[in-house]
Structure formats: C-alpha cells, structure tokens
Structure 1
Amino acid sequence: MLLLAVSPTDTNLNTLKCGYRLMEQNPQSQLKLLVTRGKEQGYLTYAEVNDHLPEDIVDSDQIEDIIQMINDMGIQVMEEAPDADDLLLAENSNSTDEDAEEAAAQVLSSVESEIGRTTDPVRMYMREMGTVELLTREGEIDIAKRIEDGINQVQCSVAEYPEAITYLL
C-alpha cells in the first residue's frame, strides 16, 4: 500500500518534487523523510509527525521521546504551521542535506530498537485514538444539551402514552 503526502503550502520547486513522497512501509525511511522535511522547513507540526510515524508506534511515551529528539535536533514541533513573518524572524542558518541525514540517523538509531509490529488491540486502539481531535468545552456543552433534549423528548413521548401512565401509577 502506498500513500502520498503533499503539503499544499509548499511553493519551492524542489520541495514540490519531493512533496509527493511515497510513504513506504519502511519506518526508517518515514522518519528520515520527517527529519529532512523538518530541517528544510525549520519546523514540523504535530500532524506531520503523526503522519510520518510508523504504524506500530502507539505508546505515548515513544511518541513524546521522538518529538523530544526532533526538538533536540533544533526542529520545532508546533500545533500548526507558523505564518511567513514568524518564519523570517525565527529563521536559523540553512542546514545541508548531510546534516538532515545525520539527524535522521540519530533518531533512527534510538527508535529502531523500539519499532516492531504489534497485534495488541489496546496499542492499536491508542494509536488510532491519538489521531482523533478532542472535544472543546463548547463541543461538550453542545453534546450535553442534545442529550438533555433527547431525554426530555422521550419523557414527553412516554407521558402521552396512556398505558405508560397507568403502569407507573
């Protein structure tokens, strides 16, 4: 199975050529692509990290360790991509592909021992749930109100049914 990863914000021709990257089953190449992309951009988003992580890394501690290693390499991991002004202000010296290769090798050597296919349903569930967006306060309030309205509708419907009233009395 091959997946394509494209960033719609990339305008650099070289990045666009590399933007259609094959997400191979090889976890080392996925992490190498992730580190290379981070070195090119100077940052990564949590979504990019999650998309490039191998399927079998589901433990939150492993994910945090990988994000920490990426941060240690000088690549910021952010919630969302910064705008162009922020990038110009925080721009570091341009690093070469060799630096990115070295950094990727460092991540791979530390993560390689932890990678292994898992059939544990709990780990698989945790991996999938890590990609689901959590509810906001407003979202929780909205759902609670809908549940409350549903309960009220059921109570009204039961109250209109004469046999239910006699049963309750």
Structure 2
Amino acid sequence: MAKKNENIAEETVKKTTKKAKTEGEAVEKTEEEIAAEIAAKFDEKCKGLLQIAKKKKNVLDYQEIMNYFLDTDFEADKMEKVFEFLENNNVDVKMADDDTDDDEIILDDEDDIDIEKIDLSVPDGVGLEDPVRMYLKEIGKVPLLSAEEEIEYAKRMEQGDEEAKKRLAEANLRLVVSIAKRYVGRGMLFLDLIQEGNLGLIKAVEKFDYRKGYKFSTYATWWIRQAITRAIADQARTIRIPVHMVETINKLVRVSRQLLQELGREPSPEEIAEAMDIPVERVREIQKISQEPVSLETPIGEEEDSHLGDFIQDDNVPVPAEAAASTLLKEQLVEVLGTLTEREQKVLRLRFGMDDGRARTLEEVGREFNVTRERIRQIEAKALRKLRHPSRSRKLKDYLD
C-alpha cells in the first residue's frame, strides 16, 4: 500500500510544493517530505473509508466514496487504487443504475486519466489478431480534444449536432481500451470488453454536462467501468448468474483468499460463513452456484486426441460386458427352469420376481394357486433341490460372482 501511495504522491508533488511555501516559513519542505505527507494522508483517508464500510457491513455505494474524497486535492488516476484497496479488504462497492441522473454522481480527479499517455498496446494473454491490430491502429489516428474543445462540442450537442457527439466519442475511444485492459481474463474476449466499454462511452457522451466543471474523461471513466463490469457479470458465464449474485460470489472468493493466506490452507465452509457472517448453508449454496461448467469436448492427453466426455461413465447405460453377461444368464436360466414342472417354474418366478422385479411372499403365491403358504414353501424347496443338481447347477455357477 505504501508503494502505491508514494506513486500517487509523485503525481501531485508539483502543485503541493507551492502550498508548502508559506510566508514566514523558516524551513522549506523537500519534495520527498511532501510526497510522504501526501502518501500518509491518502493512506489515512483509505483507512477512514474502511472504518465507514465496516459500520455498514462492508457495503458502500459509489456516491459515498466520491463524497468522502471531495475534501481532498488528490489528482491523477487513483480511483482504481481506491477500489483495489476496498476489494482487498472485502468491501463491496455498489454501482448506480444506467438511468442514474448526473446530480446523483459526484466525481473528482479520482477518475482523471491522462488520455495522451494511454498505452494502446495489446495486454498480455491476448492474441494479436488482425481485428485487434486494425482497431487499435485506427483509434490511434484520432486526434485528441482539449478541455476547451470538449466544452465546445458539448455545447453543439445541446443544439442537436450529431457530428459533435460522434467526434467527442471517437476522441475518447482509447480511454475505453485503457480501462478494458484491466478486465482481461475475466471470461470475455478483449474486443468484447472494448465493445461493452464503448457502449458505456456513448452513455457518457449522452449524459455529459460541461457545466459541472469536470473533464469528460473523468466523467466517462465511471460509465465505461460500469458498462464493462456489468457485461462481465451478465455475459462471462455459460450459465447466466444475476448481477447481485455475482457480487456475492466475488465477495466469497475474496474472503476465501484472505482466509487461505491467514490459515495456510483452504478454509472450510464454516470458517467462510463465520467471516462473512452468513449461515453455512448459504455458503454451500453460493459455492454450488459459482461452479463453472466444463465442456465434454475439452481435449485430454498430451496429443489432445481424446475428449473429457470419453472418460465419463453414463450410469443410465449398462456396461457392455455386464449387459452381455446378463443376457446370457437369462438365457441359461430359462433353459434350466424349462426342466422343472410348470407349477414349480411359476412358483420360483413369483417368489424371486423374475418377471417384474417384485418378489412375492409365500402367502401371496399361495393365494395365486389357491393353496396354503406351507404348500408353496414345499413346492419352492423341491424346485430348488432340483436346481442344485449338478446337471443343472453347473450351467449357472459361472454367474455366481
């Protein structure tokens, strides 16, 4: 955390140095001292925000965070660092809906990104296909806008100028790429992330009000980030999970990772439930929902010439060897029973449920033949003695195991 804060501090040293020089001040502070003070201040603000979150069961909304940092003079792109700090401390940040009004969103320089310094290179793990290369090359040719030009285009948009709207959006496409890079590897292709971010950019263009006094990039960052995170929650999984459940799953994963570091082993559902202050049954339910489906076509082996489905047994389909043995046993049994009298055959079939799988009692079989249960027992015993004769039993012995 300290290293991140020092990096943040360096971005604002120039402005803060002037503030450190007051009339009558005997000793002028060095840039290192000022940077350390800024880092300490940022660290203190983050810890204070964490205390607020704990009082609200580790849940904050975006506006609360923005309000909390309004009394600071922090600059540059620090909002992602704040979100990362909250995420590492298991704090859920709830975003506003798409129809949120501008007055409900309070922004400051936390969202400020220097578009001129944005790196348009492809992130690690993303294949450099022709569409990606062509897109990055094209948006790199679009000239950027100054703050005055942004205001001018915004005024023209109010008058219904569609070309101004298009120009403002195109000039900030590289901002979308910069934000989309942070979400690579979360279940969506890089180009899909850019596409969703562009939708957020369009939303920002439509709702931008230059009278609020903040840069367009500062305002657009919020909408782009929201569009991408919602798309990941809505589209990244094969089986769709509601957004609110995705947030719950993410929280459980963060708590599990934290417990893993503390305990040195995988935490049990009971330990996770205690840390999250929810019932154990709820933890098991969330874990079950969060399971990712696996394709039966997944390649298996070094040469990947087999698929996972080839090694999964279907319990509803009999094993060929067992099916063949069962067929042969039935044939042999029919042949052996054929050596008995008709009454003996029927008694054994009813007693052992050979025809329908339901074994009858002596009394039930007796009613079938209109005789006593004792008489049925005698017929059964006689028939079994006949089957034990070597001439008959040797045909069935091979199936005993």
Structure whose CA Rg is larger: 2
TM-score greater than 0.5 by the shorter chain: no
TM-score by length of 1: 0.34
TM-score by length of 2: 0.18
Higher normalized contact order (CA 8 Å, seq sep 6+, divided by chain length): 1
